[in-house]
Amino acid sequence: MRTGMLTTVRDVETFRDFYLANAQRLVVFFTRRTLNAEVALDLTAETFAVALQRRGQFRGATEAEAEGWLFAIARSQLSHYWRRGVAERRALEQVGIDPPSISQGELERIEELAGLPDLRDRIRDAIAGIHPQQAYAVTQRVVLERDYEDLAQELGVSQDVVRARVSRGLRALAATDRLAAAA
Same domain, 150 and 62: no
Same domain, 34 and 64: yes
Question: How much is the pLDDT for 146?
Answer: 82
Residue numbers of the domain that contains 129: 116-182
Question: How much is the pLDDT for 7?
Answer: 46
Same domain, 63 and 83: yes
What is the tally of structural domains in the chain? 2
69-103 pLDDT per residue, tens: 999 999 999 888 887 766 666 676 777 776 666 77
Contacts of residue 147, defined as CB under 8 A and 6 or more positions apart, other chains included, come to: 141
Same domain, 43 and 82: yes
Residues of the chain with pLDDT under 50: 1-9, 182-183
Question: How much is the pLDDT for 9?
Answer: 44
110-114 own/partner pairs: CB under 8 Å, 24+ apart? 110/27, 110/28, 110/31, 110/37, 110/40, 110/41, 111/31, 111/37, 113/24, 113/27, 113/28, 113/31, 114/27, 114/28, 114/31, 114/32, 114/37, 114/40
Same domain, 31 and 87: yes
Same domain, 94 and 174: no
Question: How much is the pLDDT for 21?
Answer: 92
Question: How much is the pLDDT for 181?
Answer: 55
Question: How much is the pLDDT for 80?
Answer: 85
Question: How much is the pLDDT for 157?
Answer: 92
Question: How much is the pLDDT for 85?
Answer: 64
Same domain, 88 and 178: no
